[in-house]
Structure 1
Amino acid sequence: MSATHPVIALTLGDPAGIGPELIARLIAEREQFTGTHSVLVGDSWLWEQGQRHAGLFADLPQVASFTEARAHEGLSMMAVDSVEKGDVTLAQESAACGASTLAVLTRCIEAAQSGQVDAICFAPLNKLSMKKGGLAYEDELHFFAEKLGVSGYFCEFNTLGTLWTSRISSHIPLKDAASYVTQERVIAASQLIHDTLKLAGFNTPRIAVAAFNPHGGEGGTCGREEIEVIAPAIAKCRAQGYPIEGPFPADTIFIKARDGEYDAIVTMYHDQGQIAIKLLGFKSGVTVQGGLPIPITTPAHGTAFDIAGQGKADVGPTRNAFAIAKRMGTNLRALRLETAAV
């Protein structure tokens, strides 16, 4: 047992998807869990099914609480009863699966609120099932933010290796995107990804901000958001000590980032960044829930109902998601211990 190691909650995701198989594949790589107190939270029957689909089996010590999990170096399991096996049909959305996902995540979030958990990594979930099962928010990020009492700016980060992206608007109609281009949101998104990268282990994050209009607005002849909003916001960030650069034309900035000039790009709307980063490496992407008091990560792909139960799931993105949760959780744990010692 080590008081300096983070407790990381790991979940199986939607019971009807590839999540249980992915977690079985991840847990087979025991070296991933060195330096952590990781605890799998989920239904015993579902964990057994995921192992059968993966063809990989692991005997995990059982714990009754997250506090008990901290006494186990490496891996343990906290069994919960969130859904009956007979209520789950593989590769099919359902209220039962959504309610199960919500129940398990709520258990982990409540533990995070009390300081028992330092990071969460969840396998893919299904938004339609969650909404059928009682999700009253537009997505899981808003659910997390509400549960954790977040009042400030929050957004999803998408990562691909060492390249991260943020955005000032997300799941909204494209016709509304311009109304979100405000100095306040540009500043908040830029500063949040900078601070998150620091927690993730980047000593001096290099961050670029994308323009909103084609060709960066062409000096105001193709839109004035760059001149009137984005550039002043960047100047304010720099005045506060944040080394933010831009705005850069969105159709070329990802080339510079791909070539290693930047660690992160702040984009102006969902597809501006998502198309680029998914083209660069869809099979290895991770989503980080930004702006929350603890790190929460997940592979960027979905529940892949088309291959659920077939033993074909690629563990790569889940491995990457856990690695980020481990790195950020370790740093957060160190900060918590440092603060407690003062």
Structure 2
Amino acid sequence: MPDKPRIALTLGDPAGVGPELAAKLLAEPATAELADLRVIASVDEFARATEQAQVEVPVTAATESGSVILIDPQRTAPLPTGTAATSAEAGRWALDGLRFALDLATSGEVDGICFTPLNKTSLHLAGMTEEDELRWFANTLGHQGRTSEFNVLDALWTGRVTSHISLAEVPELITADAVAETVALLDRALRDSGVDQPRIAVAALNPHAGENGHFGRQEIDEIAPGVLRARAAGATVDGPFPSDTVFLKAKAGLYDGVVTMYHDQGQIAMKLIGFDRGVTVQGGLPVPITTPAHGTAFDIVGTNSADLGATRNAFGLAVKLARQQIARSAA
């Protein structure tokens, strides 16, 4: 195994449950055993997080293995005091922390990033013009390649050809190239997670997979050709399958990953299977970045009742992907 990876952890939206979850994660002894932690937070932010979670977390400025190092990104604005509500201040605070973590990654000081939940409304109020944080990450990093948000539940992964756009925009963005490229991204991510020969299913766009063109031709003209291109490039991939049955096959263990055509097509299935365990991976970026798949949970902020399961899984997956990247770089 490669050396322990260095993981940057940001506390997400300060108005949500993210700070509480980060503090709970850091309070678990196993967390520091898996990675060297760089916690991106101000002293006040970190103190408030540990108070919310009712835990004590020793931190250090040293860099010895196994330590939890608190790094203040020196934001110019004060820590937002409001909780359980959207605001430009909270969104700006979260983006500034993530931008600092990206700087650490690009300078080679960390091997991966894990962040607790964000709120997209607050991010947009803060000036984010991209449709989601994945595209913001890509633009901030200057990354030009295809990206896809992956959702992970236990051993099952999903990727999607389109994501945070209106349903009216989806059909025109379903192309054979987009399908093939998303399959390739998911195939590589699954291999990085430890699956030697990933088996991938591709969902159709239309009901009954278009029923031979009666309900639309995307399956015939774009999705099936995309599957064939991905297969010719070396992926083990089948489809398109009707989207109301493809997850039955995946849940039964016939596939390791599913490529869907739009956001809710996969998210509804994954969250029904296991909402409290899911992880989101910012797929296609040059640095591993993960987060729990749930949101800021404003309704339970301050109650110290946020479930740690998804955050613990997100951190563990960031460690695994970072280890794989370290090993690949050393090869």
TM-score by length of 1: 0.92
2:245 pairs, out of 218, 243, 252, with: 252
5+ unaligned residues in a row in structure 2: which ranges? none
Segment of structure 1 superposing worse, 272-281 or 323-332:
272-281
1:84 lines up with 2:78 in the alignment: yes
Asked whether the 8 Å contact 1:118–1:295 carries over to 2, the reply is yes
What amino acid sits opposite 1:313 in the alignment?
A
Shift in Å, 1:76: 2.1
CA pair 4-172 structure 1, distance change in 2 beyond 3 A? same
1:96 lines up with 2:89 in the alignment: yes
Aligned residues: 330
Q: Give, in whole Å, the separation in 2 of the partners of 1:80 and 1:268.
A: 38
Q: Give, in whole Å, the separation in 1 of the partners of 2:18 and 2:198.
A: 32
Shift in Å, 1:57: 0.8
- Give the structure 2 partner of residue 54 of structure 1: 53
Asked whether the 8 Å contact 2:59–2:67 carries over to 1, the reply is no
Q: Give, in whole Å, the separation in 2 of the partners of 1:167 and 1:269.
A: 6
2:140 pairs, out of 136, 144, 147, with: 147
Q: Give, in whole Å, the separation in 2 of the partners of 1:175 and 1:131.
A: 21
Shift in Å, 1:176: 1.9
Q: Give, in whole Å, the separation in 1 of the partners of 2:41 and 2:325.
A: 24
- Give the structure 2 partner of residue 40 of structure 1: 39
CA offsets, 1:96-152, max 9 Å, x none? 221111111111101111222211000111222222223232221111001112111
After TM superposition, the runs of 4+ consecutive aligned structure 1 residues lying more than 4 A away are none
Asked whether the 8 Å contact 1:93–1:126 carries over to 2, the reply is yes
Shift in Å, 1:3: 7.4
Asked whether the 8 Å contact 1:156–1:288 carries over to 2, the reply is yes
Q: Give, in whole Å, the separation in 1 of the partners of 2:220 and 2:124.
A: 41
CA offsets, 1:146-165, max 9 Å, x none? 11121111021111111111
Asked whether the 8 Å contact 1:35–1:74 carries over to 2, the reply is no
- Give the structure 2 partner of residue 173 of structure 1: 166
Asked whether the 8 Å contact 2:58–2:68 carries over to 1, the reply is no
Measured on the aligned residues, the alpha-carbon RMSD in Å equals 1.6
Q: Give, in whole Å, the separation in 2 of the partners of 1:17 and 1:127.
A: 12
CA offsets, 1:285-326, max 9 Å, x none? 111101100110001111111111111111111001001101
CA pair 136-213 structure 1, distance change in 2 beyond 3 A? closer
Shift in Å, 1:74: 4.3
Give matches, 1:210-225, under 5 Å: 210-225=203-218
SS at match of 1:153: coil
1:315 lines up with 2:287 in the alignment: no
Q: Give, in whole Å, the separation in 2 of the partners of 1:81 and 1:178.
A: 44
Q: Give, in whole Å, the separation in 1 of the partners of 2:261 and 2:99.
A: 31
CA offsets, 1:226-264, max 9 Å, x none? 222211211111111111111111110101111111111
Q: Give, in whole Å, the separation in 2 of the partners of 1:94 and 1:172.
A: 22
Asked whether the 8 Å contact 1:124–1:298 carries over to 2, the reply is yes
Q: Give, in whole Å, the separation in 1 of the partners of 2:70 and 2:51.
A: 17
Segment of structure 1 superposing worse, 41-50 or 185-194:
41-50
Asked whether the 8 Å contact 2:181–2:230 carries over to 1, the reply is no
- Give the structure 1 partner of residue 229 of structure 2: 236
1:291 lines up with 2:291 in the alignment: no
Q: Give, in whole Å, the separation in 1 of the partners of 2:289 and 2:99.
A: 13
Q: Give, in whole Å, the separation in 2 of the partners of 1:212 and 1:3.
A: 41
Q: Give, in whole Å, the separation in 2 of the partners of 1:123 and 1:240.
A: 35
1:261 lines up with 2:254 in the alignment: yes
Shift in Å, 1:221: 2.6
1:328 pairs, out of 311, 318, 321, with: 321
CA pair 199-74 structure 1, distance change in 2 beyond 3 A? farther
What amino acid sits opposite 2:89 in the alignment?
A
- Give the structure 1 partner of residue 8 of structure 2: 9
Q: Give, in whole Å, the separation in 1 of the partners of 2:212 and 2:52.
A: 57
Q: Give, in whole Å, the separation in 1 of the partners of 2:315 and 2:302.
A: 22
SS at match of 1:250: coil
1:184 pairs, out of 177, 188, 194, with: 177
Asked whether the 8 Å contact 1:44–1:80 carries over to 2, the reply is no
Query: Percent of aligned pairs with the same residue?
Result: 45
5+ unaligned residues in a row in structure 1: which ranges? 64-68
Q: Give, in whole Å, the separation in 2 of the partners of 1:176 and 1:189.
A: 18
Q: Give, in whole Å, the separation in 2 of the partners of 1:229 and 1:93.
A: 39
